[in-house]
Structure 1
């Protein structure tokens, strides 16, 4: 997932036709080793078809594994903190956010918005694995092309702790726990290498180039590393329109042969791109699936799922519907779930002592300037007139295809110069909120916030509408249509009673350039333009769909 990669392939659309291969029934144990076929669990869940995308929220560069009857996936988060969310599912279709593998982006001051900014840096394509020998989850990823970090936890909810740093930056890495418990990493862009780690996972023992991508293919990256039926596989993406796989029968260091899995395959999101990247996973009963993502801006990159079979000579084949990645497929046959997963939409009143894992900050927060319990209190943490420099902006993914975020805001403790509200946040942004100046409080809609291609601010926004604000509480609402297309509108409204809402300002057309990578988010913010000391309280956040 290199920003310099030729993402112009995104615009290419055609249909790949391929005959379905003969499934081999090759099975993996938890360490990635082959095992005998298991009998289906008692009482499998038989249900109707599922519909793609399986998650209509921005989760890109997916790595996916199964531990027992539970599936886990990790995703990129760039400059958002905490980073590398871990998603959990019992059926590959319904997912929840369980935690984050990287508790804070403590990789330099720019991730604190301290003298520099980390936009479009941080957590890129990384890897999630489980090691049965010590019952531990591993997250591995490189930061800033400088070094690789490994975090571990015995439960995905955490606590996650940094195990080590390794001097080699394993770009777009895939971590394999081999059947003999050896740890290997496949990584690279166009030139693909494999590293072996020490038994404790703290050091590199060996690294070796194993493959050079033919010029006719172009760029390959986004490695995922598997051992299936005694063979080693490195699953690679051609951004942003293809998927290839390398196979070795001679061991993890090759030699490898290459085969195309898909190219210019029509995807299941209207107006979206080609499904690619992501990873392979197997159910306990032996069925294989490929979870990829589709570029679908302005919302981001949306996970999609398709079944996979295997040819008699050990190559994966994505099962197509009318020559395309299916809009729907039969649901995976899995055991009954132990419980229902936590919805990614709905109400949050910020109870308890910690934020729920659905939330991520824009860069690392100043933890002395916020609290939860009886609502979310945001003290001003930065004096700036630029929202992109403001610390403690709290973000939430937008639910597609359309959704609405509503907050109840207590602004009675704001001070002169403070700005607080609800934004549609990306490299071009807009917001509705409260301005307090000269002892007067006004409700405003601001648009035109913008960054350039180096993620420097070019415009801090223009106030385009305003209204009076009675009392100390107000409801703010942002609605977003993130379907890929020409309009992509975001609209803002407010209410003084929580029931009747009044539109404020014109529709905001959300940008759909891929280069920021992350999609639009709803964002809660409070920053000062004169002096610190003010605060607001968000009593309630409600994400709803039509």
Structure 2
């Protein structure tokens, strides 16, 4: 028995060591990565969260820190769905080809440029806007060094096939030139209703297209990764008979949409997948896995996973709002940018209308706590929130005499309870505790030490978040126009 127990323990330890881990945890879909000098930079989808497209940097593809975002103030031509930023470093300049929804139109592929991956970026506007939408732009030079743009026509949005197009682009990256040509489309059973997220690399006389197919998002996702190859960039393209070459495995499901990169002479692929335990609540997270070329000139993934060494799963982050600018962890809605003032170690959120106003940060696991220290006013509500989007959230917010817990689903508000504040103090602490993704509870404290539970019937929050996004935990204000909600501090604990 003793010998068996030791064997079982060793097997468990091997499994733990070998288990793949996200290198950028939490919501970071469609990652793109480039190398500039000895540093790697990655950008990911921000969808309807602002700022647009967070940017991270790393020396080893394993340990990443955020440097900022590509569009701190978004763009003038687009209003939402900031998807799939594709970084490109060419001739000493950095470019990003990205998807966004054109005001009054549909999805387009745009481009911006900068002298450094850390910006600032100058937006050059949309390059291609097809009637049903154009997404997932990828730049590549052909065998004659001519620059081209590859993208997907978003036919699946209207129940049509999804051609992958290519067209030459001028060296200024301001316009497509010549005629577009189809490379391939979804025409095999495993690809289902779409192919997308094309990333092209070259090796041994071949162009290889690593692409994603099937359903991208949510608990019912079917996403997987395939490969196609061609001697010429313009085709004909041959799909691998053994596709998909990367599918769900271990703790991760629905892998796809990434970028190939080299590190220490080896090939790696940075892509996204869902953690099975937290799925849509934490969103699609960034992973890095090795791959190699085969003797018959195809490509296969190895079992080499890059794993972060500086990111514990249990940690605490505190913001006392004592800096001159808002911390990089914070996001807000593209439809409701907050007006705020940072002063005397506090943040004041100015209420513009009757909507909930919030700043929030991504979560990266199924268990966590968020605590907000407020300075309650006579009428404006301030507190802690779990946010899917503007129309889907739950929060506990307080004024001087009472605490209100509210659920918002599809824009309809429901009161879950109103509680008198027992005791007096200048500050009021509101805590939100989440277990197993959806078991949520709230409590409060006058001094920030002993908390009193706010007893409500267990709310159903499984409708959070929207299909292509992930939850955020943060600070919320609610009231009438002109009121200011004041927050002293925010603490997030990942359990």
1:258 equivalent among 239, 249, 254: 239
Give the distance between the partners of 2:71 and 2:201, measured in 1 at CA.
Answer: 24
Q: Offset of 1:527 from its aligned partner?
A: 2.8
Query: Is residue 2:432 matched to residue 1:478?
Result: yes
Q: SS at the partner of 1:298?
A: helix
Q: SS at the partner of 2:244?
A: strand
Structure 2 counterpart of 1:41? none
TM-score, length basis structure 1: 0.73
Alpha-carbon spacing, 1:522–1:236, altered in 2? closer, same or farther (3 Å): same
Number of aligned residue pairs: give it.
446
Structure 2 counterpart of 1:491? 441
Give the distance between the partners of 1:274 and 1:398, measured in 2 at CA.
Answer: 19
Give the distance between the partners of 1:156 and 1:415, measured in 2 at CA.
Answer: 46
Structure 1 counterpart of 2:382? 420
Please tell me whether the aligned partners of residues 102 and 151 of structure 1 are also in contact (alpha carbons under 8 angstroms). no
Structure 2 counterpart of 1:213? 186
Give the distance between the partners of 1:510 and 1:79, measured in 2 at CA.
Answer: 20
Q: SS at the partner of 1:371?
A: strand
Structure 1 counterpart of 2:93? 135
Structure 1 counterpart of 2:472? 521
Higher RCO (CA < 8 A, seq sep 6+): 1
Alpha-carbon spacing, 1:211–1:140, altered in 2? closer, same or farther (3 Å): same
Query: Is residue 2:273 matched to residue 1:273?
Result: no
TM-score, length basis structure 2: 0.80
Deviations 1:195-219 (A, max 9, x none): 2211111111132211132153322
Q: Offset of 1:135 from its aligned partner?
A: 3.2
Deviations 1:237-262 (A, max 9, x none): 11333211221211x22221112553
Structure 1 counterpart of 2:352? 382
Please tell me whether the aligned partners of residues 89 and 95 of structure 2 are also in contact (alpha carbons under 8 angstroms). yes
Structure 2 counterpart of 1:325? none
Query: Is residue 2:319 matched to residue 1:348?
Result: yes
Deviations 1:452-486 (A, max 9, x none): xxxxx2x2121325231633311222223355xxx
Please tell me whether the aligned partners of residues 477 and 493 of structure 1 are also in contact (alpha carbons under 8 angstroms). yes
Structure 2 counterpart of 1:73? 42
Give the distance between the partners of 1:308 and 1:462, measured in 2 at CA.
Answer: 52
Query: Is residue 2:263 matched to residue 1:283?
Result: yes
Structure 2 counterpart of 1:60? 29
Structure 2 counterpart of 1:361? 332
Query: Is residue 2:390 matched to residue 1:409?
Result: no
Structure 1 counterpart of 2:13? none
Q: Offset of 1:490 from its aligned partner?
A: 2.3
Greater CA drift, 178-187 or 345-354:
178-187
Q: After superposition, where does 1:450-465 map in structure 2 within 5 Å?
A: 450-451=409-410, 457=411, 459-465=412-418
Q: Offset of 1:424 from its aligned partner?
A: 0.6
Gapped runs of 5+ residues in structure 2?
Answer: 1-16, 155-161, 216-221
Give the distance between the partners of 1:345 and 1:87, measured in 2 at CA.
Answer: 20
| Structure 1 vs Structure 2 CA RMSD | 3.1
Query: Is residue 2:301 matched to residue 1:318?
Result: yes
1:541 equivalent among 487, 490, 495: 490
Q: Offset of 1:167 from its aligned partner?
A: 4.1
Give the distance between the partners of 1:429 and 1:85, measured in 2 at CA.
Answer: 23
Structure 1 counterpart of 2:283? 300
Q: Offset of 1:409 from its aligned partner?
A: 1.6
Give the distance between the partners of 1:158 and 1:191, measured in 2 at CA.
Answer: 33
Deviations 1:481-539 (A, max 9, x none): 355xxxx32222222112222222344443267753111111322132xx423212222
